Every structure is written in C-alpha cells, then in structure tokens.
Amino acid sequence: MPVSQIKPNPKQPRQVFDEDALNELEHSIREFGLMQPIVVRELGTDEYELVMGERRLRASQLAELEAIPAIVRQTADEAMLRDALLENIHRVQLNPLEEAAAYQQLLDEFAVTHEELAGRIGRSRPVITNTIRLLKLPLAVQRRVAAGVLSAGHARALLSLEDADSQEELAARIVAEGMSVRATEEAVTLKKSEKPAKPKPAPRKPIQAPGLQELANRLSDRFDTRVKVDLGRRKGRITLEFGSVDDLERIVALMDENQAKQTRETD
C-alpha cells in the first residue's frame, strides 16, 4: 500500500516517541524492509486510516519508503482508540501519563465503569483506577513522569500526600537524591506523620476604656516620666519608665511623698 494514502490515527494515545528508537527502526527497515504489516481501515477510494503501527509508519516515512505492507480491517470508530491503546500497552510503549489519559478517554467515549473497561482491555480494575489517579498530580510532577524521570511507582506514592506543594517538593527530592520507590513511600509516611505547627494566638488587644489616656497623662505629669496604662479583661497594668537608678529612686520618693501626704490628710 502506498504510504501517501495512509492517514495517522487521530485517537492515537501515544504522544511521545523516542527518537533513538525510531532511528533504529528506520535503519532496520532500510536494511531488511518492514517485517510486520501495519493495520489500517478503509475511509474511501485510495484513502486509509491507521489503526495500529504508528512507529512502523513513522519509521517507514523516515526511510522514505513509497509502499509498505498493510492489513485492511473493518474497524468501527468506537474501536479505534481501544485497538491503538491495546497495541501500545502490549508493546509497552506508552508512558504512565499517556496510559492514564487513554484510559480516561476510553471511559468518557464508551461511558463505562472502571470494572467494565478492565474487562474489555484485559486489565484489572485496580490497575485502571490507580493509573487514572496519576492525572490528579500537579502538572510539574506529571511532566517528570512523562519524561521518565519519575516512575509510576514513585507517582502513586506521591498521591498519598494531599497537598500539591508537598507532592512537588518530594518529587524534586526523588530526582535529586535518586530515591527508590520504597524510600519514597517511607518519606511520604514520615511527612504525613508530621504535625502542622500550631498557629500562634493573636495578641490580645487592650481594652480602650474612656479616660485611660487622660489618667496616663496625669501620671506622666506627676512623675515626670512616660506612663502607660493598660486595661485587660480581668486586670490592668500601669507601666512607668525610668532612665537610671537615680531616676527610679526619684520616682519612688515621689510615690512615698504622695503616700505620706494622703496619710496626713486621712488623720
């Protein structure tokens, strides 16, 4: 079949193609030809759409082949994504994020449960559910998973942390320190056991009673120093400032003088 007559699969779940692997496949095709046919479906006269074999088609185009072997299959629209997904899963070519996005797309298009989808593609329900959960990770962490810097095991461990900032912080540590999945799980457990610091109670604002400032001014004038009067909910406080020991003795002498005067007036 002429390569020019084949259109790519619009529902191809795989988004990242390893350039080195493509180049190796291209070299093999140039030397020995395409050993395994691609699978297409007929759209119209001399027009076909790819169902399976995206890498083989791309490598054949790089090798500048004019025609390649192909199997024409009658594939319905709703089966296109499923067939492309199954091929990539079995060939282990999807990264965890692409696989999660493909599962979610299948759920949306087929309107099925996780259990039903698992039965259709031959995977267990926990695998489907846990893989889709990777889409809940922060974008910064998802990029690391898509790039292969973080494994699916690392990503699933990070999902145990509820805070996105904590997930990103630990993801950076995993990359920097080369942490294993087991070490990551232990770090997550340790981080979850940490109790958040209790917020400091806000300082109580003094009660603004009428006449307090006037009283403070009178005392300041009487003792010739700065006086502050605070009134709390249960008790109050008078604070007098002094500049030196001599100044303190002066203030105390004024207090004694005032006390003696009040005693004489009482007598």
**Across residues 72-98, what is the average pLDDT?**
67
> Rounded distance, CA 31 to CA 145, Å?
35
Within 13 Å and on the Cβ side, how many CA atoms surround 56? 20
Other residues' Cβ atoms within 10 Å of the Cβ of residue 251: 17
Q: What is the pLDDT of residues 167-220, one digit of tens each?
A: 999 999 898 888 898 999 988 888 887 755 566 666 665 556 667 788 888 888
Total-model pTM: 0.47
Catalytic residue among 19, 24, 47, 54: 54
Query: Which of 164, 216, 157, 153 is closest to 186 using CA atoms?
Result: 157
Residue 54 known to be catalytic: yes
